[in-house]
Amino acid sequence: MLSKKKTVEVIEAMGELFPDAKCELTHRNAFELLIAVMLSAQTTDVSVNKITPNLFDRYPTPEAFTTAPLEDIMNAIKTIGLYRNKAKYIKGCCQKLVDEFNGEVPRTRKELESLPGIGRKSANVVLSVAFNVPAIAVDTHVERVTKRLGICPPDATVRQVEEILMKKLPPEMWSIAHHRLIFFGRYQCTARNHDHTVCLQLVGLK
């Protein structure tokens, strides 16, 4: 497994490859990001970004979603996967935001995870991107890349991957590391067959 020092060097090398690495979900505020993150489960960011402008024009607030018929929400998001369940989660989440958080997106992981449709990974994205709280969201790209590069052992769980990254990187690097790992996994070290030696060379491991 890579040392703390080497892990930092690898993440910094990714930063040189992808200096503009950031959240690719289009949003204007914490609420829009929260809904976009829910929609992005098992769906590409590109697909989500195609529907959210119209969705948020129609339903700009949690209150707007709570009063909308479920069928209407489903119709607005039906081009993406799992849209029926996602519509239910959105409506339930917005109802809880209105009932318990005065229509505001909460700023703690515990409160975020109490919302329907929001797990630890999604909560970490909102904390990091919307509120600049150091956090590492482990998605499929982060998990795959950290294991392939030897940052984490192959049998590590998603939670263990997060904890290992938090130990090996200083807190001020957590959020940017998450984005760099995603970009590296999305645009360089993809899940498809490829010459992995190039990936290793690009981050100084070969």
Q: Which amino acids are annotated catalytic? A: 121, 139
Query: What secondary structure, in 3-state letters, does 157-201 show?
Result: CHHHHHHHHHHHCCHHHHHHHHHHHHHHHHHCCCCCCCCHHHHHH
From the number of C-beta atoms within 10 Å of its C-beta (0-12, 13-18, 19+), residue 69 rates as exposed
The size of the chain, in residues, is 206
Q: Which of 95, 78, 98 is CA-nearest to residue 87?
A: 78
